[in-house]
């Protein structure tokens, strides 16, 4: 199988993926997105014969546009630009989850300091303010007081980029010092872990401690539905436990489309890259079958 990896930096995650693909004898084309140009009908990248391209771009804008162009050239791409579009934006992500009746934290979006302040006061303290685009827990604010709210809103309005003009306000979920990350392929879990921290942000990137986690039926069902809600693909589904450790009640706070797996690979007994490549192989075979049928 000929697989393209679209990237701008090869991290441990990409190395794991590349090693597994090469071990299995697949031909891998590395596409450094910084060196490519994407025209309306063709690209400088040699992608026409690839069976599948896996988007591993770190930058959201590159990921969204590059996948869109590849898709328009008819190159199968993981994840699809449609899934990327929903997952890259926390407001669209929350809407998709709510539309699919998946429990997700109460959220409001407002466009001015004044309306954002109203929403914050209604949620009460603490509540959470998130940038609509971003990851690794960056620029997230837990707001404890009205004074803090006023300061953050003014800073965002004055100093923030375009995306910070959208105020994304969320109820604070009193989770038990941890949240859950599930790597899933088309809704099927590959592995899951908890991320624990004394800090309210439990992201592995923020130093959260990771540990393997066994999903119960409720969580399995939510992961499957959350994946479908955003259009499927290779996804990182984030859940929080409501009502304490092991309560079996969950809320899904986001679904990520360029999912990391090095922490999950270390935390769990599962060979994560192997499972991911199993799925990529199946995906490429299915796409090839589709092409034969259409031809
Ligand atoms: N509403 C919330 N209440 C409590 N903790 C939250 C809430 N939303 C997020 N968190 C914590 O912050 C972390 C980062 O939030 P998340 O929405 O996943 O953003 P990011 O894209 O930066 O990972 C989560 O892993 C979780 O630990
Ligand atoms: Mg997250």
Q: What is the pLDDT of residues 253-276, one digit of tens each?
A: 999 999 999 999 999 999 999 999
Instruction: Write out pLDDT tens, residues 126-169.
Output: 999 999 998 888 899 999 999 999 999 999 999 888 878 899 99
CA of 154 to the centre of ligand 1 (A): 22
In terms of DSSP bridges, do strands 27-32 and 2-7 run parallel, antiparallel, or are they unpaired? parallel
CB 143 within 8 A of CB 170: no
Which helix (H) or strand (E) segment is 2 a member of? strand 2-7
CA of 148 to the centre of ligand 1 (A): 19
- Our measurement of the distance from residue 43's CA atom to the centroid of its chain's CA atoms, rounded to an integer in Å, reads 26
Q: Looking at the chain, which residues constitute the CATH 3.40.50.20 domain(s)?
A: 2-78
Which helix (H) or strand (E) segment is 53 a member of? strand 52-55
Residue nearest to atom 12 of ligand 1 (CA): 201
Question: 175: burial class by Cβ within 10 Å (0-12, 13-18, 19+)?
Answer: buried
Quote the pLDDT of residue 206.
83
- Ligand 1 pocket check: which of 104, 140, 173, 237 to mutate, most ligand atoms within 8 Å of Cβ? 140
Quote the pLDDT of residue 134.
85
Which atom of ligand 1 lies closest to the CA of 137? 22
- Our measurement of the distance from residue 47's CA atom to the centroid of its chain's CA atoms, rounded to an integer in Å, reads 25
From the CA of 123, the nearest ligand is 1
Decide if domain 2-78 falls under CATH 3.40.50.300. Answer: no
Residue 78 has pLDDT above 80, yes or no: yes
CA of 136 to the centre of ligand 2 (A): 6
CB 169 within 8 A of CB 107: yes
Residue nearest to atom 4 of ligand 1 (CA): 173
What would the mean pLDDT of 60-83 be, rounded to a whole number? 96
Quote the pLDDT of residue 25.
97
CA of 97 to the centre of ligand 2 (A): 15
DSSP state string for 77-134: EES-HHHHHHHT-HHHHHHHHHHTT-----EEEESSHHHHHHHHHHH-SSEEEE-SS-
Tokens of 276: 């991911």
Quote the pLDDT of residue 196.
96
Is 254's C-beta closer than 6 angstroms to any atom of ligand 1? yes
The secondary structure of residue 74, as a DSSP letter, is: T
Q: How confident is the model at residue 295 (pLDDT cuts 50, 70, 90)?
A: low
Quote the pLDDT of residue 289.
80
Q: Looking at the chain, which residues constitute the CATH 3.30.1490.20 domain(s)?
A: 106-171
The radius of gyration computed from the CA coordinates of the chain, to the nearest angstrom, equals 20
Cα–Cα dist 129/132, whole Å:
9
Which atom of ligand 1 lies closest to the CA of 128? 1
Residue 40 has pLDDT above 90, yes or no: yes
Is 274's C-beta closer than 6 angstroms to any atom of ligand 1? no
- Ligand 1 pocket check: which of 136, 137, 260 to mutate, most ligand atoms within 8 Å of Cβ? 137
CA of 96 to the centre of ligand 1 (A): 17
Nearest CA among 289, 287, 271, 290 for reference residue 24: 271
pTM: 0.95
The percentage of the chain sitting over the pLDDT mark of 70, rounded to a whole number, equals 99
CB 268 within 8 A of CB 192: yes
What CATH superfamily is the domain 106-171? Answer: ATP-grasp fold, A domain (3.30.1490.20)
Q: Looking at the chain, which residues constitute the CATH 3.30.470.20 domain(s)?
A: 178-276
In terms of DSSP bridges, do strands 178-185 and 127-130 run parallel, antiparallel, or are they unpaired? unpaired
What would the mean pLDDT of 211-238 be, rounded to a whole number? 98
Residue 294 has pLDDT above 70, yes or no: no
Residue nearest to atom 21 of ligand 1 (CA): 135
* Residue listed under structure tokens 């993981």: 78
Mean pLDDT score of the chain: 95
CB 258 within 8 A of CB 57: yes
Is 241's C-beta closer than 6 angstroms to any atom of ligand 1? no
What CATH number labels 178-276? 3.30.470.20
Residue 112 has pLDDT above 80, yes or no: yes
């Amino acid at each position: 199988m000929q697989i393209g990896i679209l990237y701008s930096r090869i991290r441990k995650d990409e190395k794991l993926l590349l090693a597994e693909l090469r071990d299995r004898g697949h031909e891998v084309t590395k596409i450094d997105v910084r060196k490519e140009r994407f025209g309306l009908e063709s690209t400088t990248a040699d992608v026409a014969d690839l069976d599948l391209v896996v988007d591993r771009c770190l930058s959201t804008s590159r990921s969204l546009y590059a996948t869109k162009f590849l898709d328009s050239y008819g190159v199968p791409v993981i994840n699809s630009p449609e899934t990327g579009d929903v997952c890259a934006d926390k407001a669209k992500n929350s809407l998709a989850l709510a539309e699919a009746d998946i429990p997700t934290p109460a959220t409001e979006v407002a466009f001015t300091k004044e309306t954002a302040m109203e929403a914050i006061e209604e949620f009460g303290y603490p509540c959470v303010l998130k940038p609509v685009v971003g990851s690794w827990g960056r620029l997230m604010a837990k707001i404890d007081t009205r004074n803090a709210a006023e300061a953050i809103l003014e800073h965002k309005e004055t100093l923030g980029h375009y995306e910070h003009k959208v105020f994304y306000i969320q109820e604070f979920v009193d989770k038990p010092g941890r949240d859950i990350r599930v790597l899933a392929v088309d809704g099927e879990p590959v592995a899951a872990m908890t991320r624990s921290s004394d800090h309210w942000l439990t992201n592995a990137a923020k130093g959260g401690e990771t540990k393997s986690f066994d999903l119960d039926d409720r969580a399995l069902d939510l992961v499957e539905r959350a994946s479908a809600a955003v259009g499927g693909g290779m996804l990182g589904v984030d859940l929080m436990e409501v009502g304490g450790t092991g309560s079996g009640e969950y809320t899904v706070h986001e679904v990520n489309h360029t999912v990391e797996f090095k922490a999950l690979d270390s935390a769990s007994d599962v060979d994560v890259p192997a499972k991911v490549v199993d799925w990529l192989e199946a995906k490429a075979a299915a796409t090839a079958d589709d092409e034969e049928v259409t031809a």
